[in-house]
Amino acid sequence: MNDVEEIIQKANKYRWEIGENLHDAILESIYTDAARIADKTVTRQGGKQKFDWDRWIDKLVTGRWTGFPIMFLLLVIVFWLTISGANVPSAMIASLLVDTIHPLLKDGANFLHFPWWLSGVLIDGAYLALAWVISVMLPPMAIFFPLFTLLEDFGYLPRVAFNMDNLYRRVGAHGKQALTMSMGFGCNAAGVIAARIIDSPRERIIAIITNNFSLCNGRWPTQILIATIFIGGAVPSFLAGVTSAAAVMIVAVLGVLFSLIVSWALSRSVLKGEASAFSLELPPYRPPRFLQTLYTSLIDRTIMVLWRAVVFAAPAGVAIWLVANVTINNVSIAEYFINWTDPYAMILGLNGVIILAYIIAIPANEIVIPTVLMLTVLTTKATGLGAGAGVMFEMESVNDTAALLHAGGWSVLTGINLMLFSLLHNPCSTTIYTIYKETKSMKWTLISTFLPIVMGIVLCFFVAQFWQLFA
C-alpha cells in the first residue's frame, strides 16, 4: 500500500504546481476533441435556413411580456376544457352507479336479510363513497391528465420553469422548484418525490414544504364545483363557464403566490442561504404522440390516482355513515360535533359541516365535497334528497346542489372561503407520509402539515371579517 500512498502524494504535489485551472483545461481538451469529431461526421443540408419555429415559439412563451399571460391563458383553457367536458360523463357514471346499481344492491341486501347496520355500512357507506369518487373524479382526470401530459410531451414544462426561475431565485429558492410545483398540480406526493432533482438540502426542503400550495387533482373537483355554484352562479349564464374557470385559475395562481411567499419567509429565517445556480436546457419542441400520451396518462396517472382514491374512499364512507348514524340521546355524533364547532367556524366564514368534512377527509381530499353534502342534508333535515340520513348521494344537477347548500345557510362567502381553505390546509395522509419518507425528519413533516392549516385559518378569518365589514 505504500507505493499507492506515494502516487497520491505525488499527485497532490503536482496539483499544487499545476494550479487551479486544471478543470478548465480538461474541459477545453474534451470540447476540442468533441468539436473535431462532430465536425467530421455531421453535415447540415441546404443553405436555405428554414423558418425556425422553435426559436419563434420560445420567444413567445418565455418572453418578458408574453410569457406569463400565455401561461395563464393555457391554464384557463385546460381548466375550461376540463370543467365543461367532465359534466356530461360525470352525470352518466353517477346515474349508473348511484341511481341504478345502488338500489339494486339495497334490494339484494334486503333479499339476503342483511341487518340494517350492515347494509348501511357496506352499501350506504363504503359503496356510495366509491361510486361518488369514481363519478366525480374519473371524467375530469381523464381530461386533465392527458392535456397536461401533452403539454409536457410537447416541451412546455421547462419553459414554465424558465419563466418562474427568476421569481424562485429571488425568494431564495431553487429554480427547479418550478418543475416540482408543476408536478404538484397533478399530485402533491409526486411533487414531493420530484423534489429529489434539487441537490441542495436546504432548497429541497423548501420545495417539499411549499409543494402543498399546488392544488392537487384531489382538490380540483372541490374548486371546480364550488366555483361553478357560487362564482358561476353570480354572473350571466353565458359567462358562467369562463368565469368559473377563471376563478379556479385565480385560486391556483394564489397557491403559486403563497409558495413564493412561504419560500421567501423560510429562506430568510429557518432555512437561510443563497440560491444555488443551475443550468436548464430548453429542450426542442417535439410533436406529442397523441395515442401513446393518451394511453400512458390514462394508465399511469388516471388509474393510479383513482385507485388510491378508491382505497381511501371506502373506509371514509364507513366512517361517514357511522358518525351520521351512531346516536347519543337521538342526536348523531356528527350533529354534536357540527353544533359544537359551528360558532367557531362562523368566525372563519366557514361552518361546522366543512370542519368535520375536512377531518373525515384527511386520508384523501377527493371526498370533501360528498361529505359536505351528506352532512348538510343531515343538519338541515332536507327531505326528498338522497336515500336517507347519512347516505352520500349524487344530485341530478349542479342546481340541486346549489339549492341544498343555500338551504344549509351557505353564502358566497362560505363558497369563497371553502375554496381558500381547500387550497390552504394540511396535505393528505399519503403526502404527509411521503414527506416523512423523503426528509426523514419529524420536524419538517410537522411543519409541512401544520403551516398550511394555520395560514388557511388566518386567511379565512381576515376574509370573513372584511366581508362582514363591507357586505
3-class secondary structure, 349: coil
Alpha helices in 97-127 (DSSP H): 102-111, 116-119
Shortest CB 195 distance to other proteins, Å: 9
Closest to other proteins by CB, 10 or 59:
10
Alpha helices in 171-219 (DSSP H): 177-184, 188-194, 201-210
What residue type is 91 in one-letter code?
A
Closest to other proteins by CB, 157 or 261:
157
Closest to other proteins by CB, 11 or 442:
11
Cell numbers linked to 317: 364512507
Output b/e per residue, 440-466; b: 16+ Cβ within 10 A: eeeebbebbbebbeebbbebbeebbee
**Residues sharing a CB contact under 8 Å with residue 184, sequence separation 6 or more, in sequence order:** 190, 191, 192, 211, 212, 213, 214, 216
Q: How far apart are CA 469 and CA 471, in angstroms?
A: 6
Phi/psi at 446 (nearest 5 deg)?
A: -65, -45
Q: How many CB atoms within 10 Å of residue 29?
A: 10
| H/E run at residue 136 | helix 128-154
453535415: which residue's cell?
Answer: 43
Shortest CB 147 distance to other proteins, Å: 14
Closest to other proteins by CB, 37 or 359:
37
Shortest CB 397 distance to other proteins, Å: 37
What residue type is 412 in one-letter code?
V
Closest to other proteins by CB, 124 or 152:
152
Q: What is the dihedral of CA 25, 28, 29, 33, to 10 degrees?
A: 180
Closest to other proteins by CB, 46 or 236:
46
Phi/psi zone of residue 284: left (φ > 0), alpha (ψ -120 to 50 degrees), beta? Answer: beta
Closest to other proteins by CB, 30 or 60:
30
3-class secondary structure, 254: helix
Closest to other proteins by CB, 2 or 383:
2
Q: How many CB atoms within 10 Å of residue 205?
A: 23
350571466: which residue's cell?
Answer: 236
Give residues in contact with other proteins (CB under 8 A): 1, 3-8, 10-12, 14-15, 17-18, 21-23, 25-35, 37-46, 50, 149, 152-155, 157-158, 161, 176, 179, 193-194, 196-197, 199, 279-281, 283-284, 286, 289, 296, 299-300
Shortest CB 199 distance to other proteins, Å: 5
Closest to other proteins by CB, 48 or 64:
48
Shortest CB 43 distance to other proteins, Å: 5
Shortest CB 448 distance to other proteins, Å: 19
Closest to other proteins by CB, 41 or 383:
41
Q: How far apart are CA 101 and CA 202, in angstroms?
A: 52
3-class secondary structure, 21: coil
Closest to other proteins by CB, 154 or 433:
154
What residue type is 207 in one-letter code?
A
**Residues sharing a CB contact under 8 Å with residue 230, sequence separation 6 or more, in sequence order:** 410, 412, 414, 415, 416
Cell numbers linked to 375: 352532512
- Say if CB 93 and CB 139 are below 8 A apart: yes
Closest to other proteins by CB, 3 or 383:
3
Dihedral sign computed on CA atoms, order 115, 107, 104, 321: negative
Shortest CB 155 distance to other proteins, Å: 4
